[in-house]
Amino acid sequence: MAALPEMMTAIEIVGHGGPDVLKPTRRPVPKPGPGEVLVRVRACGVNRPDVQQRLGGYPPPPGAPDIPGLEIAGEIVGLGPEVEGGWKLGDGVCALVIGGGYAEYCTAPAAQCLPIPRSYDMVRAAALPETFFTVWTNVFDRGRLQPGESILVHGGASGIGTTAIQLAKAFGATVYVTAGSAERCAACVKLGADRAINYKTEDFAAVVKDLTQGRGVDVVLDMIGGAYLAQNLNSLALEGRLVIIALLGGPKGEADLARVMVRRLTVTGATLRPRTVAQKAEIAASLRSRVWPLLDAGTIAPVIDRVLPLDQAAAAHHAIDGDHIGKIMLTVP
Ligand X SMILES: NC(=O)c1ccc[n+]([C@@H]2O[C@H](COP(=O)([O-])OP(=O)(O)OC[C@H]3O[C@@H](n4cnc5c(N)ncnc54)[C@H](OP(=O)(O)O)[C@@H]3O)[C@@H](O)[C@H]2O)c1
Residue 234 lies near ligand X (rule: CB under 6 A): no
41 touches 65 (CB < 8 A): no
Ranked by CB distance to ligand X, the top (closest) residue is: 180
Residues 6 or more apart whose CB falls under 8 angstroms from that of 297 comprise none
Pick from 124, 115, 219, 222: nearest CA to 172? 219
| Stretch of 1-9, 96-104, 241-249, 294-302 contacting ligand X, by CB under 6 A | 241-249
Read out DSSP for 268-311?
EE--STTS-HHHHHHHHHHIIIIIHHHHHHTSS---EEEEEEGG
- What is the total count of residues that contact ligand X (CB under 6 A)? 27
Residue 271 lies near ligand X (rule: CB under 6 A): yes
Name which position in 39, 106, 283, 320 contacts ligand X (CB under 6 A).
Answer: 320
Comparing CB distances to ligand X, the nearer of 76 and 191 is 191
Phi, psi of 29 (to 5 degrees): -65, 125
First to last CA, the chain: 18
**Least distance CB 89 / ligand X (angstroms):** 30
Residue 157 lies near ligand X (rule: CB under 6 A): yes
Per-residue interface string for the shown chain with ligand X, residues 93-132, x marking contact by CB under 6 A? -------------------------------------x--
Name which position in 8, 43, 110, 160 contacts ligand X (CB under 6 A).
Answer: 160
Q: Kindly provide the residue ranges of all beta strands, DSSP E only, lying in 52-173, ordered along the sequence.
A: 71-79, 92-96, 105-109, 113-115, 150-153
Residue 19 lies near ligand X (rule: CB under 6 A): no
Spatial separation of the C-alpha atoms in residues 83 and 36, rounded to whole Å: 6
41 touches 123 (CB < 8 A): no
Comparing CB distances to ligand X, the nearer of 171 and 228 is 228
Q: Site residues for ligand X, window 199-218 (CB under 6 A)?
A: 199
Name which position in 13, 164, 246, 332 contacts ligand X (CB under 6 A).
Answer: 246
Spatial separation of the C-alpha atoms in residues 259 and 192, rounded to whole Å: 31
Name which position in 53, 112, 158, 234 contacts ligand X (CB under 6 A).
Answer: 158
Residue 272 lies near ligand X (rule: CB under 6 A): yes
**Least distance CB 288 / ligand X (angstroms):** 19
Pick from 75, 85, 63, 86: nearest CA to 38? 75
Pick from 160, 162, 224: nearest CA to 187? 162
**Least distance CB 244 / ligand X (angstroms):** 8
Residues binding ligand X (CB under 6 A): 47-49, 130, 134, 154-155, 157-161, 178-180, 184, 199, 223-224, 245-246, 248-249, 270-272, 320
